[in-house]
């Protein structure tokens, strides 16, 4: 998204050259599950920006020029309590935990990292598609339960060469998923109102058509007010009863209660999800005991390299925002 840099009064230092420079900017790590801020510190230092940990003590974010945040919700009230913030960096792709309109009004830049895990998420999506359509988990369960000869109960299993893969979203991850899976499928279609150019090997269609035609419908779009519960009871009813739903994007895209009902009623062949509306789910979440469901614990983004890349790029980009607006001013 666009970077919006706001001006504010800065602490100043005299320099021998007769110019005045703003003090070195500071980024506070507001919350993180990574355990330390070593990678962020190294990345920001290359831009002359310091990193301060506010993980154990949120008051350490007071007086910082910006924050890096993983899970915390940043509201307009949070921003007003820290008028010195000039940038908010979100660990990840989604920015639905940040009040974007409020940040824009206050001229605070919001930075995310949409390009840190394309390979990982696309690979995970492809893995879910193949595991679900080939019914690998129930087959594994049969073997472990001593039911080797019961494989016929897994019928039908359709050949993917005669099936259509449908994508909702053709951004980086959607395109990467299409590249990985297109050799398996007979055709690939997609819905993306933001698409500005053709996607090689993908037929762009409207939303109703991608829902109606897909044998596997895979979601690759952000969670926004207009996409919340994009997949609701009506959409699920319009899908083929032999089709599968795959979601590696945001749990809120899917009405989980409606999905649980559809799976129990046999209106879908199955679903494979890496994200849920509530994470972690409650033990009595009705979706968890729905039939023909494969769930992973929001790990599509992860590899050893992608974690390092995320932390480095976020700190680097937020530091660059601060230093771009902290250049020398006349004495």
Q: Which of 250, 311, 312, 317 is catalytic?
A: 250
**Residues 6+ away with beta carbon under 8 Å from 241:** 266, 267, 268, 269
* Cα distances (Å, whole numbers) of residue 154 to 52, 148, 165: 54, 12, 21
CB 201, CB 178: distance < 8 Å: yes
Q: Which of 213, 298, 308, 309 is catalytic?
A: 298
SS3 111: strand
Written in H, E and C, the secondary structure of 222-253 is CCCCCCCCCECHHHHHHCCCCCEEEECCCHHH
- Distance between CA atoms of residues 79 and 217, nearest Å: 38
Q: Which of 8, 105, 134, 279 is catalytic?
A: 279
Read off φ and ψ for residue 111, nearest 5 degrees.
-120, 130
* Cα distances (Å, whole numbers) of residue 36 to 32, 230, 316: 8, 37, 16
- Distance between CA atoms of residues 29 and 11, nearest Å: 21
Catalytic residue at 279? yes
CB 256, CB 277: distance < 8 Å: yes
Catalytic residue at 298? yes
Provide DSSP, 294-311: EE--S-TT--HHHHHHHH
- Distance between CA atoms of residues 110 and 41, nearest Å: 19
Helix axes 304-324, 38-45, angle to 10 degrees: 40
Catalytic residue at 40? no
> DSSP label at 99?
-
- Distance between CA atoms of residues 259 and 196, nearest Å: 31
Residues known to be catalytic: 250, 279, 298
């Amino acid at each position: 998204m666009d970077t919006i840099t706001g001006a504010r009064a800065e602490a100043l230092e005299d320099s021998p050259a007769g110019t005045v420079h703003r003090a070195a900017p500071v980024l506070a790590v507001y919350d993180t599950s990574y355990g330390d801020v070593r990678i962020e510190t190294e990345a920001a230092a290359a831009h002359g920006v310091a990193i301060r940990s506010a993980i154990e003590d949120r008051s350490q974010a007071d007086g910082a020029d910006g924050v890096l945040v993983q899970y915390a919700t940043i509201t307009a009230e949070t921003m007003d309590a820290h008028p010195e913030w000039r940038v908010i960096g979100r660990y990840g792709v989604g920015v639905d935990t940040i009040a974007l309109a409020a940040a824009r009004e206050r001229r605070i830049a919001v930075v995310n990292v949409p390009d840190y895990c394309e390979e990982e998420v696309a690979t995970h999506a492809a893995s879910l598609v193949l595991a679900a359509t080939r019914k690998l988990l129930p087959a594994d369960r049969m073997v472990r339960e001593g039911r080797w000869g019961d494989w016929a109960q897994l019928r039908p299993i359709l050949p993917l060469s005669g099936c259509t893969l449908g994508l909702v979203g053709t951004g980086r991850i959607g395109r990467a998923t299409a590249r990985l899976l297109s050799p398996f499928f007979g055709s690939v279609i997609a819905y993306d109102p933001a698409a500005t150019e053709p996607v090689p090997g993908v037929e762009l269609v409207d939303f109703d058509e991608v829902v109606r035609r897909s044998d596997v419908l895979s979601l690759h779009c952000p969670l926004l007010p207009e996409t919340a519960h994009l997949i609701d009871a009506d959409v699920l009813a319009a899908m083929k009863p032999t089709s599968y739903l795959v979601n590696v994007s945001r749990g809120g895209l899917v009405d989980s209660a409606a999905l649980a009902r559809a799976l129990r009623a046999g209106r879908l062949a199955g679903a494979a999800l890496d994200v849920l509306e509530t994470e972690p789910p409650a033990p009595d979440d009705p979706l968890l005991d729905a039939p023909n469901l494969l769930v992973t614990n929001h790990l599509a983004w992860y590899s050893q390299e992608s974690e390092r890349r995320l932390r480095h790029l976020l700190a680097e980009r937020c530091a660059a925002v601060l230093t771009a607006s902290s250049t020398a001013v006349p004495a």
